Amino acid sequence: MTALLAERAAEVVSAAQQLLTKRMGAAVKLSDPIELSGSGRTTVLRVRVAENAFSLPRTLIIKQMRGAAADRRLGGMAPGVANIDSAFLREAVSYQFTTALGRDHRPGAYLLGYSLPERLLILSDLGENTSLTSVLQSGDVAAGRNALMAFAQALGRMHAATVGPRGRLRRAVAPGRRRPPHRRDRATGADRDR
């Protein structure tokens, strides 16, 4: 780890410790940061939970997005995402939404904590696994087929579990926007989850 990265990692770990300590109500100490892949504006670290009074997992993933709110990068943001703050908000809300799903329907890591001002996410660690891309590019047809089928099944379970409550996700991402009248219950005028 370079000196610049070590300094950045120390800042991210410190912010995560403060967030977890505040959220848990007791000191949490994180150590041994390992850099994982991230974009130029995102720091992603795996850390060991060295001390905690609770049953936190042994390792966690910390993700922090950097940049000014007005930062835009042509082609770098998803359609409809105006800036880094809205990109972070969408990611945080998505993790909140999927964390609320049952364990069998959750598509990936679950959210342990977040800070909007710090643009910081603390996630469970899924461990070291081979990426789907690596398996597909390996040339092993049977392994590629199995990995793709497992991915499709997990995605299907997530979609089946979220078909009803997706309206809550929309409202969380865009809280000021109201649904069109045809999606409201005609008798009560209340929004319907679809």
pLDDT digits over 73-93, tens only?
A: 544 555 556 677 888 888 898
The model's confidence at residue 171, banded by pLDDT at 50, 70 and 90, is low
Percent of the chain at pLDDT exceeding 90: 34
In this prediction, residues 109-124 reach a mean pLDDT of 93
Statement: residue 28 has pLDDT above 70:
yes
In this prediction, residues 96-117 reach a mean pLDDT of 85
Mean pLDDT comparison of 104-108, 121-125, 132-136, 168-172, highest-scoring range: 121-125
**pLDDT computed for residue 75 by the predictor:** 45
Assign domain 1-128 one CATH number from 2.40.50.140, 1.20.1730.10, 3.30.200.20, 3.20.190.10: 3.30.200.20
pTM above 0.85, yes or no: no
Q: What is the average pLDDT score of the chain?
A: 79
- CB atoms < 10 A from the CB of 25, how many? 9
**pLDDT computed for residue 109 by the predictor:** 87
Sheet with strand 111-115: strands edge to edge = 29-35, 42-51, 59-65, 120-124, 111-115
Statement: residue 54 has pLDDT above 80:
no
In this prediction, residues 30-51 reach a mean pLDDT of 87
How do the domains of the chain map onto residue ranges? Answer: 1-128
**pLDDT computed for residue 32 by the predictor:** 94
- At CA 44, angle to CA 43 and CA 47, rounded to 5? 125
Statement: residue 149 has pLDDT above 90:
yes
Residues 122, 112 contacting (CB under 8 angstroms): yes
Torsion 124-130-134-140 (CA) sign: negative
Both structure tokens of 52: 């905690």
